[in-house]
Amino acid sequence: MNFLKLMYAAQNMWPMIAANTQTLVMFGGINPKNSQVSMGGVTRHETSNWFKTFERSGMRLLNISPQAGDASQPSEWLPIIPGTDTALMLGLAHTLVLEELLDREFLDRCTTGYERFEGYLLGKADGQAKTAAWAAGICGVPATTIQDLARQMAASRTLITVAWSLQRAQHGEQPYWMAATLAAMLGQIGLPGGGVGYGYGAIGGIGVPLKRLPRPSLSRGHNAVSDFIPVARIADMLLNPGQPYSFNGNQSSYPDIRLVYWCGGNPFHHHQDLNRLREAWKQPETVIVHEPWWTATAKHSDIVFPATTPYEREDIARSATDSFLFHMPELIPR
């Protein structure tokens, strides 16, 4: 499932949340400040107004975050020690099992591997049951609060959200997997206004119902070359021509690249090991870059083809997460 489909089309939209959600549990909050920006821009700022609608509906809004400002007021603030969200989720999950509040029919029908997880949750794997009291000692949230929240989540239509910021920490993948597990235990994944969602408030487009507009573009033709490598392995490819590598369960060999033509992007801005990439970038006989700016990638190339910026050309603008088309007049003569 691609990024846009998972983050936008497959999640609860704001109107669906407003109409169905009774308990909104926000790990990392849903920050109104961050929702003012989005990839491709934001035409209409909607997040704050939707929270006013949630408030009027009587929805319980629970901001689980080290900072009170990570969600719109008057969300309840449940302060948590940074990096301990997974422990809190485990304490909630243990309460669901202990009090038989989980949806075992959903787990049997829609998941695999839950039995192994429950063994870990109950301490059969490591001798430590992940009780609410255990979680309280780690995350700083009282055990009674954790237990009461678990009961409410099971008794109401609950949407669990996880901010993107949680991944930017050690073991940052864990709260994402655990949030999905917790939502599955509640049995509300797929129900309107229930289940789990990621990235609300990170950018303005998430939660906004999409109106797919046709994208005006020129034909890109057909690429006769089907071979590819993972983008993170550019340096590996250039440094190891002909060597085997595995990706997604398949075995392939790196090609012997003599010419690089780079159009759009700046690998020296986001690659893992810049010193290694610099050595790899010396291997091809020729490097051509399409670039309007004197970036590090342009500086390491043999030929730079200048490209116009959006200010220098007349164009039509559209964002995949917006429902508007814009005329972009030329502002600066070329």
CATH of the domain at 319: 3.40.50.740
Same domain, 115 and 238: no
Residue 195 has which token pair? 């289940």
- Residues 235, 275: contact at Cβ < 8 Å? no
Using the 3D structure, point to which of 182, 198, 214 is the last residue of a domain.
198
Same domain, 182 and 249: no
- Residues 215, 318: contact at Cβ < 8 Å? yes
Total domains in the chain come to 2
- Burial category of 331 from C-beta neighbours within 10 Å (exposed 0-12, middle 13-18, buried 19 and up): exposed
Same domain, 165 and 48: yes
Residue 299 has which token pair? 């500086």
Q: What is the CATH number of the domain that holds 188?
A: 3.40.228.10
| 322 contacts: CB under 8 Å, gap ≥ 6 | 38, 40, 41, 42, 43, 205
* Mean pLDDT, residues 92-112 taken together: 98
Output phi, psi for 78, to 5 deg.
Answer: -110, 95
Same domain, 173 and 262: no
Range of the domain at 10: 3-198
pTM equals: 0.75
| 297 contacts: CB under 8 Å, gap ≥ 6 | 262, 265, 266, 267, 268, 269, 289, 291
Same domain, 22 and 161: yes
Using the 3D structure, point to which of 198, 223, 251 is the last residue of a domain.
198
pLDDT one-digit tens code per residue, 11-54: 999 999 999 999 999 999 999 899 888 877 777 888 989 999 99
Same domain, 163 and 239: no
Same domain, 246 and 186: no
Sequential DSSP letters for 146-199: HHHHHHHHHHS-EEEEE-GGGGSSTTTTHHHHHHHHHHHHHT-TTSTT-EEEE-
Same domain, 187 and 59: yes
Same domain, 157 and 246: no
Q: Is residue 213 part of a domain?
A: no
Same domain, 286 and 193: no
Residue 218 has which token pair? 């020129």
Q: Is residue 223 part of a domain?
A: no
Same domain, 22 and 93: yes
Total Cβ atoms within 10 A of residue 91: 28
How sure is the predictor about 1, in pLDDT bands with cuts at 50, 70 and 90? very low
Same domain, 191 and 236: no
Q: Is residue 208 part of a domain?
A: no
Q: Is residue 222 part of a domain?
A: no
Using the 3D structure, point to which of 198, 217, 243 is the last residue of a domain.
198
pLDDT one-digit tens code per residue, 189-229: 999 999 999 999 888 888 888 766 666 678 888 988 888 88
Q: Is residue 307 part of a domain?
A: yes
- Residues 78, 67: contact at Cβ < 8 Å? no
Q: Is residue 215 part of a domain?
A: no
pLDDT one-digit tens code per residue, 256-282: 999 999 998 889 988 889 999 999 999
Percentages (nearest 5) of helix, strand, coil residues in the chain: 35, 15, 45
**Three-class SS of residue 1?**
coil
